[in-house]
Structure 1
Amino acid sequence: MGRYTRKAAAFFAIGALALTGCGATAAAGGSDDSMTFVCSPQEDWCQLVAAEFTKASGIKADYVRLSGGEAVARLSAAGESPEFDAWFGGGADGHIAAEGEGLIEKFVPENAAQIPDKYKDPEGFWTGVYMGALSFCSNNDVLNKLGVAAPESWSDLLNPKLKKNVAMAHPGTSGTAYQALWSQVMLNDGSKDAAIDYFAKLHSNVLQYSKSGSALGQMAGRGEVGVGVIFAQDCQKFINEGFTQLTTTFPKEGATFEVGAVSLIKNAKHPEAAKKFIEWSLTAEAQDLAATVGTYSVPTNPAAVITDDMVDISKTEMLDADIREMGESRNELTARFDREVAPAPKG
């Protein structure tokens, strides 16, 4: 625990696998003509995914946008009568937490053969569709007024000059924030006590804990805070949308990375449609959609396009997290954050 791995560029290296088909269906054919998925990335990406899958398959797709922690909570509340058929996006640790509660089931898509082993569950509960690097998204104008440089380490966020000028989501509802929390576990040699202690110290600098991590870039862009703790692809999206005063930096100590996953909901009402959706989501064509709406996460399919706006992860240090341990620890660790740092936002 707490060790650095090779540079992320090497970790995210694109292999030479070839795409063997687009929109392949599950082995067991089905007559389902509609499906609903829970979607954890940016809203515009979710909209496009639903529309393009419907266009490609003829299956009407609807979605509800929920952050990773919210998705697990809603699936858990539904029990054996889920309202969703598949879960698209959100960190694999969230899918592992859902697996632990019996909320998703095994499904090994044919197109999973195109995805490198390190980005999929060996037992078939989830498959990675994208990757993201945790970052600090800073408003240069705000920081200049505060006399603070853009943070380049986790300790920089503790600067008293940043009081009420840091925005982060709550790890109980947001996969982004849970990545930050687990990064501290790793940086402290596996100590969950030390991780909670870090965020207790950071608490006075946090303006608010949001439900979703991606929206924090807007807060920073509007000058409501000096720094948002978000994924680099989300910060880049807001820069491209006109918040040119934003800049992205990475903690020099390192941070975990997200493998955004897709999984099949247990007891889904439309399982065959859901399987076709999962197969489609793993194709290069489906993964290329993200960049068209300004989401610059790194695709897991080696045949997908890497754009100039995707984060230059060769400049970052990535922590080699045990994703299963991370997912299995989620409920315990976020409950401690609730009790010892701040309660999760309601509503």
Structure 2
Amino acid sequence: MKNGWRANWLLVSASAIGLTVATVASAGQVEDLVTAAKAEGQLTVIALPRDWCGYGGIIDGFKAKYGMTVNELSPDATSSDEIDAIRSARGKTDPRTPDVIDVGLSFAPSAKRDGLLQPYKVSTWATIPNSAKDADGYWYGDYYGTIIFEINADIVKKMPTDWADLVAPEYRDAVGLAGDLTSNQAIQGVFAAGLSAANNNVGEAADRGLRFFADLNRKGNFVPFVGDLASLIDGRTPILIRWDYLALGDRDRVRGKTRIEIVRPATGSVAGVYVQAISAFAPHPNAARLWMEYLYSDETQLAWLSGHCSPIRLADLVSRGKIPADLTRRGLAQFEHYGGSAGPRFPTLEEQEQARETIAKGWDSIVGVTVQCLPDENPSNGPMVLNNIPFLQCSTPQ
């Protein structure tokens, strides 16, 4: 019966979803969690492209550390797709459904309200900023980035410095989003453009963003396809509205072959937090909790920083002197301002939820064009249908 009460807590907590509030995991509970997770033997993740924040190395590190299988479902799914995948798993016992999700901040509260998530507080809970976590432990921020312009400088000769520049005639058939309107990345891009047009009036930003893209579309500058590195290089979308960490990763991959410039717009600079959560119907609940412990450890938070993302526990890591010298030079310095001197705005949860609703509902009537996926010549080996839900093969659209 050694540590029996802790093992019992791990096994029954999934059945107590919604009946109790999660408590912060202790060191002893985490030790037992490793045993329980290994007994399950596997973890199923979704919407984690391997080039997104260095997730490839993070996933491989988890497998190596714990000797477990990681099923990687639909790496190019959107935040909305992730929520739908959990919803479709209600009442089913399919091990090939996601245990965990990584979604834009505004997608998490409604998933909690709909009973799609279960609470768990990692052992490093106290070091996650209160503004980036649900008080009851149903979701919590993991990393964040800033919306920027990723530009093929071999094609675009004059660099735009702000959102208003994008409507100029020289950018005809040039500007694309790196996600469709079910993705957090695209929603935040529209919001950022609107924040610039509205002179930082958050209440008007979503509507002004829609009108900005309508104007961009009328002028023939907007390319209504989900862009990626390939379309940036071949000129189909030589200007991409994208998260900075993805753009920085692109620049690293093609250095010496294609010149990529990264421009933070002088106004309308928006930072977006992504959050982790465990499915209420997770087939492998203990593996899911162990995954959370792994993600919020110093080790993986620094791995995110190496992958050009700002980990949510960055302030704590800095205060404790945990940032290696090479990451201080190569990591923290990468988030320098390329445009204006003001730092990025972190929209509140309420602001993000309202913006997402306004943009999603108003896009068709105001902008009037559908953002489609580019033809995929190299489809993923992962399953593209999950519980009868088809996933479009777009590039890193979270």
Aligned residues: 316
Which residue in the other structure is 1:175 paired with? 184
Match status 1:336 vs 2:344: no
Match status 1:150 vs 2:163: no
Q: Are the structure 2 counterparts of residues 339 and 63 from structure 1 closer, same or farther at C-alpha, using a change threshold of 3 Å?
A: farther
What code does the residue aligned with 2:302 have? D
Corresponding residue SS for 2:156: helix
Structure 2 portions without partners, runs of 5+: 1-25, 374-391, 393-398
What code does the residue aligned with 2:44 have? T
Match status 1:308 vs 2:308: no
Q: String of CA shifts for 1:170-205, please: whole Å, max 9, x gaps.
A: 442322111112224544321233221111112231
Q: Are the structure 2 counterparts of residues 133 and 172 from structure 1 closer, same or farther at C-alpha, using a change threshold of 3 Å?
A: same
Match status 1:263 vs 2:271: no
Which residue in the other structure is 1:103 paired with? 116
Match status 1:207 vs 2:197: no
Which residue in the other structure is 1:8 paired with? none
Alignment of 1:1-347 (within 5 A): 24=30, 30=36, 31-43=39-51, 45-64=54-73, 65=75, 66-81=77-92, 83-88=97-102, 90-144=103-157, 149-187=158-196, 188=198, 189=201, 190-191=203-204, 192-203=206-217, 204-210=220-226, 216-243=228-255, 244-290=258-304, 295-301=307-313, 302-303=316-317, 305=323, 306-310=327-331, 311-313=334-336, 317-327=343-353, 329-341=355-367, 342-345=369-372, 347=392
- For 1:282 and 1:221, the matched residues in 2 are separated by 35
Is the 2:142–2:296 contact (alpha carbons within 8 Å) kept by the matching residues of 1? yes
Q: Are the structure 2 counterparts of residues 268 and 328 from structure 1 closer, same or farther at C-alpha, using a change threshold of 3 Å?
A: farther
What code does the residue aligned with 1:242 have? V
Q: String of CA shifts for 1:193-248, please: whole Å, max 9, x gaps.
A: 322111111223122331xxxx6344223433331111112111121112451111
Q: Are the structure 2 counterparts of residues 24 and 111 from structure 1 closer, same or farther at C-alpha, using a change threshold of 3 Å?
A: farther
Is the 2:174–2:222 contact (alpha carbons within 8 Å) kept by the matching residues of 1? yes
Corresponding residue SS for 1:94: helix
- For 1:232 and 1:317, the matched residues in 2 are separated by 14
Q: Are the structure 2 counterparts of residues 169 and 335 from structure 1 closer, same or farther at C-alpha, using a change threshold of 3 Å?
A: farther
Deviation for aligned residue 1:47: 3.1
TM (normalized to structure 2)? 0.70
Which residue in the other structure is 1:10 paired with? none
TM (normalized to structure 1)? 0.79
The percent of aligned pairs where both chains have the same amino acid is 19
Q: String of CA shifts for 1:84-105, please: whole Å, max 9, x gaps.
A: 11113x4222333433443223
Q: Are the structure 2 counterparts of residues 336 and 171 from structure 1 closer, same or farther at C-alpha, using a change threshold of 3 Å?
A: farther
Corresponding residue SS for 2:288: helix
Corresponding residue SS for 2:144: strand
Corresponding residue SS for 1:193: helix
Corresponding residue SS for 1:137: strand
Is the 2:247–2:262 contact (alpha carbons within 8 Å) kept by the matching residues of 1? yes
Q: Are the structure 2 counterparts of residues 72 and 130 from structure 1 closer, same or farther at C-alpha, using a change threshold of 3 Å?
A: same
- For 2:330 and 2:34, the matched residues in 1 are separated by 39
Structure 1 portions without partners, runs of 5+: 1-19
Q: Are the structure 2 counterparts of residues 331 and 239 from structure 1 closer, same or farther at C-alpha, using a change threshold of 3 Å?
A: same
Q: Are the structure 2 counterparts of residues 24 and 259 from structure 1 closer, same or farther at C-alpha, using a change threshold of 3 Å?
A: farther
- For 2:32 and 2:124, the matched residues in 1 are separated by 9
Deviation for aligned residue 1:270: 1.2
